[in-house]
Structure 1
Amino acid sequence: MSRSAPALRPFLPADTPLLAAIFAASIMELTGDDYSEAQQEAWAMAAEDEDAFGKKLAGQLTLIASLQNAPVGFASLKGPDHIDMLYVHPSAAGQGVGSALCDALEKIAGARGAKTLTVDASDNALDFFRKRGYVARQRNSVTINDEWLANTTMQKTLDSAPQRGGHA
């Protein structure tokens, strides 16, 4: 089976239920080594209110990645320089979806003038971001639905080389 690069497109409100399902599946199936079942359930509940979840996605720059025309992951940029969400469906994990989404957000942030990009990485995502040049800055404890979860704020300095043919 040839692995084709994921296709990226902007978020549409109609995508909300599918992205909520990807969010929950990603948490429940990919984070078990790092978080307890109670922590996973509290985290996944963040998408149960689909209206609120959709508004959050619509309020950020959200990209959707598809393989064979089926959405398999999404990522969002909050403000000019913070990756707020990056989730890939377990069936598509390890196929370059997260990397394609991250590449796109890094390019967009850089094009918008951001010098650095930050992310609050879950423990299971630390290696992914570390391999991309993100450096751990601080450990955090966050409360989600009465459960404490740890994450790590990581930062990457973006390439500040001027884009050829573009404006500085």
Structure 2
Amino acid sequence: MGQTLPKPALRPFLAADTPILAAIFIAAIEELAADDYSEAQREAWASAADDEEQFARRLASELTLIATLQNSPVGFASLKGADRLDMLYVHPSATGQGAASVLCDALEKLAGGRGAKSLTVDASDNAEGFFLKRGYVAKQRNTVAVNGEWLANTTMQKSLASDAPKGATQ
């Protein structure tokens, strides 16, 4: 019989998580985006975590959730405002174990709870397929400058169904 993989658990971001989340961020970019972005592009992108204090401020300024497997952080995602999924990163060793889906499910519910009618994400080329499978629709192609390198991504959007009955107030 096959062994059942544990389901990822979620918890809120704590400032003490910054070093491990920075490491997850960098590893995900270096390994998972290698087929879609050049080494120089990945280095420029990953450099956002070089200044851990600034990286911590960014995580703390948004609603950031951490996915854990057996109490160890394996991924994180953040909701900026009510309707923008800002960051979604999973460590390469934990891909395919449901962490990204659990994080996305939670942020979609939280965004809906905050009154958002849709959720928007600027998806990297390597993440676009994941978001398409979740019902996100490509809206526009972008090119952004990051530390002297140009990176392409796609703005995608998903309509959020309201679970509240008609006429109900929150």
Matched residues in 1 for 2:61 and 2:148: separation?
A: 25
Matched residues in 1 for 2:89 and 2:16: separation?
A: 18
Matched residues in 2 for 1:128 and 1:73: separation?
A: 15
Residue pairs, 1:17-166, within 5 angstroms: 17-162=19-164
Matched residues in 2 for 1:142 and 1:72: separation?
A: 27
Matched residues in 2 for 1:167 and 1:104: separation?
A: 21
- Structure 2 gaps, min length 5: none
Q: In structure 1, which of residues 1, 15, 20 is the aligned counterpart of residue 17 of structure 2?
A: 15
The alignment partner of 1:21 has SS state of helix
Aligned partner of 2:5 in structure 1 is 3
How far does the alpha carbon of each residue in 1:61-108 deviate from its partner, in whole angstroms, 9 at most, with x for none? 000000011000000000000000000000001110000000000000
- Structure 1 gaps, min length 5: none
How far does the alpha carbon of each residue in 1:15-56 deviate from its partner, in whole angstroms, 9 at most, with x for none? 001100000000001001100011011101110000000000
RMSD (CA atoms) = 1.3
Structure-1-length-normalised TM-score: 0.96
Task: Give me the identity figure in percent.
Answer: 70
The aligned amino acid for 2:138 is: A
